[in-house]
Amino acid sequence: METKKFMRLMLVGSIGSSLLGLPYVCQLFEVNSGLMQWGIFSIFIGLLLIGTSVTWDLTHKTTKYLLAIEFSLLSILQLVPIYYWFVAQPQAMAVTTFTNAVSNFGYTLPHFVLLFIGVLVVYRLLNKDIIPNLNQG
């Protein structure tokens, strides 16, 4: 994956995190206060990732590891709403129909995408040379 494509992937994950937090903060779903706080944190980590991704300089190992930590947080953060939509949502526990399961999967799909992007970015940051000769020095 070349550098520009990798940069786009990081920006998609960053912007996606911010946008995905908005429905929870604006209470477009019936969510508890914990998920509302999750939305605020998702917007915050997305904005932080946008700033770090845009100003990145992978010739410094510190930036590379900082991005890896931030994208790890992004990935871990996606587990909360995935758990909510599949396990903790009261309607999902009361009604166990195929339609409800498909509906819950639809709500979790963006979270799975961000989880995948976060894992992919962390893998690329820690296991691949983004810029040649990065490991020297």
Q: Tens-digit pLDDT profile for the chain (137 aa)?
A: 577 888 889 999 999 999 999 988 888 877 677 788 888 999 999 999 988 887 777 667 888 888 999 999 999 999 988 887 777 664 544 444 445 555 566 778 899 999 999 999 999 988 865 554 444 44
Instruction: Look at the block and give the residue holding tokens 């100003």.
Output: 55
- Rounded to an integer, what is the distance from CA 116 to the centroid of its chain? 8
**Separation CA 103–CA 101 (nearest Å):** 5
pTM reported for the whole predicted model: 0.78
Structure tokens of 31?
A: 């969510």
